[in-house]
Chains A and B, each alone.
Chain A
């Protein structure tokens, strides 16, 4: 196997706040290989977002080592190694959908013709081809979130960091977006780091599931998924799927009982 895309070793992060400190990450060690789809699941406050932000270089760990593409997270950020999808779409209301997707391209200095082509491709990837000229308020919440994924895809970084991107959407829209996300992953071969609260979502999407537990935030289980690469939605009724889901649930419960 080639060198890992993300390598965390004994990662530690303590937030110093006004009323004492919060131990958000404790001794987190994890390797993520190229092209993996890794989900992070765990109760609220167990440090999933914090870990993702560390990988993105938005947060500085207080201990341990963390490498992204063999570089420090900050260097990887400067090298624009990843796209980040936040829980809220956060589209600019004064830009059209195409304008929003073009935002990172403008900042990174892509030529105009190149920009136009990439915006078109990214929007096609998330199935928003006909909506380039619309403003965000003319789109549903699910479409806005897809546009924000297109924005993260536009500059073609090989890592995609997603923090509960579908958390605010209803089950049906979510199912569809999950299916589309898997297809997109299969097509692009990107490395995915995906935070979620939903066990079925984590099991359905991932090649690797990282179960975390709180206070202090740490990894309680890492599950390599035995599911095949080809995953229709009804795979969720298969015995294999249910077994993995069961193991995730056990991991979550063990993490809570240890408190």
Chain B
């Protein structure tokens, strides 16, 4: 048998022993993770220097410091590295500019913290507020996309006609760049009077249904021929085969699809906020930040989106572990 969830479980090691092994593994894993993060942060700080050197020297000159060479026109002729070499003592200023090209990690962290904890959650400056606007569209779109995806997968598994007619379109739909199609969807929906959360949810759903379809078709087909033959010997109906075998066997695949789908939903909701110049939402924050050259704001919104995605994926992982463990399939 393949590695399908129906393959006979390897005997021997008990579940509690396995849990303990996993717990130990997490202790071992924290070290490398911290090391990688530290390296990335260090690279980020280093990258701030050449990215921001022009701006840094300009600010320093205005404040009365001695900059070589003098005058922005002369400096524009030089490369970033040469400027850094000529003014080593002024470089730390690159990490505390008001409008940096590349904000330093601590600047982003401060902006993120301020946006999350420093504002009233109803304020337009609150990241919680914007995250909630995006999240609500994400969740609605995710629900629609998942429902649609599962329905399509059920149809595809049971009907050859549906497989031949739906699958190619599902694949084609994902080759169209979402950036190109999102404004069209929004305009079309707007023209028929639909606006607000629904157009965003539609684009979310558009992105999330596909991984669900692919994952669930695989999951529904994961039982092997012997499993299906066994049910045939009981003269089981198609509905029974689905309910007793295909559906439970597909659950591990469902959760894998949901994790990809929810992240895609979030991307869809953010992208959907861009073309309308929406007033609220993480996408709107990104857009406003780029209009006004507020790079710190862009980065803070980006990290807020990443944290949101991680939170959603983590939540699905928790449900997965709880449910599969209750079904005796927890690993």
Contact A108 B327 (CB under 8 A): no
Q: Knowing A107-B244, A140-B11, say if A77 contacts B235 (CB, 8 Å).
A: yes
Report the interface size for chain A: residues with CB under 8 A from the other chain. 32
Contact A141 B11 (CB under 8 A): yes
Complex Cα–Cα for A138 and B229 (A): 25
Per-residue CB contact flags for chain A residues 58-78 toward chain B (1 = under 8 Å, else 0) read 100000000000000000011
Contact A84 B11 (CB under 8 A): no
* Chain A residues whose CB sits within 8 angstroms of the CB of B236 once the complex forms: 107
Whether a CB of chain A sits under 8 angstroms from the CB of B6 is yes
Contact B10 A137 (CB under 8 A): yes
* Chain A residues whose CB sits within 8 angstroms of the CB of B244 once the complex forms: 103, 106-107
Complex Cα–Cα for A157 and B252 (A): 34
Binding site for B on A (CB under 8 A): 53, 56, 58, 77-78, 80, 82-84, 86, 88-96, 103-104, 106-108, 135-141, 144
* Chain A residues whose CB sits within 8 angstroms of the CB of B10 once the complex forms: 137
Contact B235 A92 (CB under 8 A): no
Complex Cα–Cα for A132 and B329 (A): 17
* Chain A residues whose CB sits within 8 angstroms of the CB of B328 once the complex forms: 93-96, 135-137
* Chain B residues whose CB sits within 8 angstroms of the CB of A95 once the complex forms: 328
Complex Cα–Cα for A108 and B231 (A): 11
Closest to A155 in B: B234
Could you show 10 A-B contacts with beta carbons less than 8 Å apart?
A58-B229, A80-B234, A86-B229, A90-B8, A90-B227, A93-B6, A107-B234, A107-B240, A135-B9, A136-B328
Q: Knowing A77-B232, A78-B235, say if A92 contacts B8 (CB, 8 Å).
A: no
Residue among B11, B230, B231, B329 making CB contact with A93, cutoff 8 Å: B329
Whether a CB of chain A sits under 8 angstroms from the CB of B122 is no
Whether a CB of chain A sits under 8 angstroms from the CB of B248 is yes
Contact A141 B233 (CB under 8 A): no
Complex Cα–Cα for A190 and B318 (A): 48
Closest to B240 in A: A107
Complex Cα–Cα for A139 and B1 (A): 18
Whether a CB of chain A sits under 8 angstroms from the CB of B5 is yes
* Chain A residues whose CB sits within 8 angstroms of the CB of B329 once the complex forms: 93-94
Residue among B8, B231, B251, B327 making CB contact with A88, cutoff 8 Å: B8
Whether a CB of chain A sits under 8 angstroms from the CB of B226 is yes
Per-residue CB contact flags for chain B residues 6-40 toward chain A (1 = under 8 Å, else 0) read 10111100100000000000000000000000000
Binding site for A on B (CB under 8 A): 1, 5-6, 8-11, 14, 226-227, 229-236, 240, 244-245, 248, 251, 327-329
Contact B234 A108 (CB under 8 A): yes
* Chain A residues whose CB sits within 8 angstroms of the CB of B245 once the complex forms: 92
* Chain A residues whose CB sits within 8 angstroms of the CB of B248 once the complex forms: 92, 94
Residue among B6, B14, B229 making CB contact with A92, cutoff 8 Å: B6
Contact B233 A58 (CB under 8 A): yes
* Chain B residues whose CB sits within 8 angstroms of the CB of A93 once the complex forms: 5-6, 9, 328-329
Q: Given contacts A84-B230, A107-B231, A135-B328, could you give 18 more A-B pairs where the C-beta distance is less than 8 Å? A: A53-B229, A80-B234, A88-B1, A90-B226, A92-B6, A92-B245, A92-B248, A94-B327, A95-B328, A107-B236, A107-B240, A108-B234, A136-B8, A137-B11, A137-B328, A138-B14, A140-B11, A141-B11
Residue among B6, B230, B251 making CB contact with A86, cutoff 8 Å: B230
Complex Cα–Cα for A35 and B251 (A): 42
Complex Cα–Cα for A83 and B230 (A): 9
Closest to B227 in A: A90
Closest to A106 in B: B244
Contact A90 B240 (CB under 8 A): no
Residue among A53, A94, A108, A141 making CB contact with B8, cutoff 8 Å: A141
Contact B233 A139 (CB under 8 A): no
* Chain A residues whose CB sits within 8 angstroms of the CB of B235 once the complex forms: 77-78, 80, 107-108
Complex Cα–Cα for A86 and B11 (A): 20
Complex Cα–Cα for A140 and B5 (A): 18
* Chain B residues whose CB sits within 8 angstroms of the CB of A92 once the complex forms: 6, 245, 248
* Chain B residues whose CB sits within 8 angstroms of the CB of A84 once the complex forms: 229-230, 233
Contact A90 B6 (CB under 8 A): yes
* Chain B residues whose CB sits within 8 angstroms of the CB of A90 once the complex forms: 6, 8, 226-227, 230
Q: What is the CB-to-nearest-CB distance from B303 to chain A, in angstroms, rounded to a whole number?
A: 39
Most buried by A among B14, B251, B328: B328
Complex Cα–Cα for A90 and B230 (A): 9
Residue among B8, B9, B233, B240 making CB contact with A82, cutoff 8 Å: B233
Q: What is the CB-to-nearest-CB distance from B192 to chain A, in angstroms, rounded to a whole number?
A: 45
Contact B230 A56 (CB under 8 A): no
Contact A58 B232 (CB under 8 A): yes
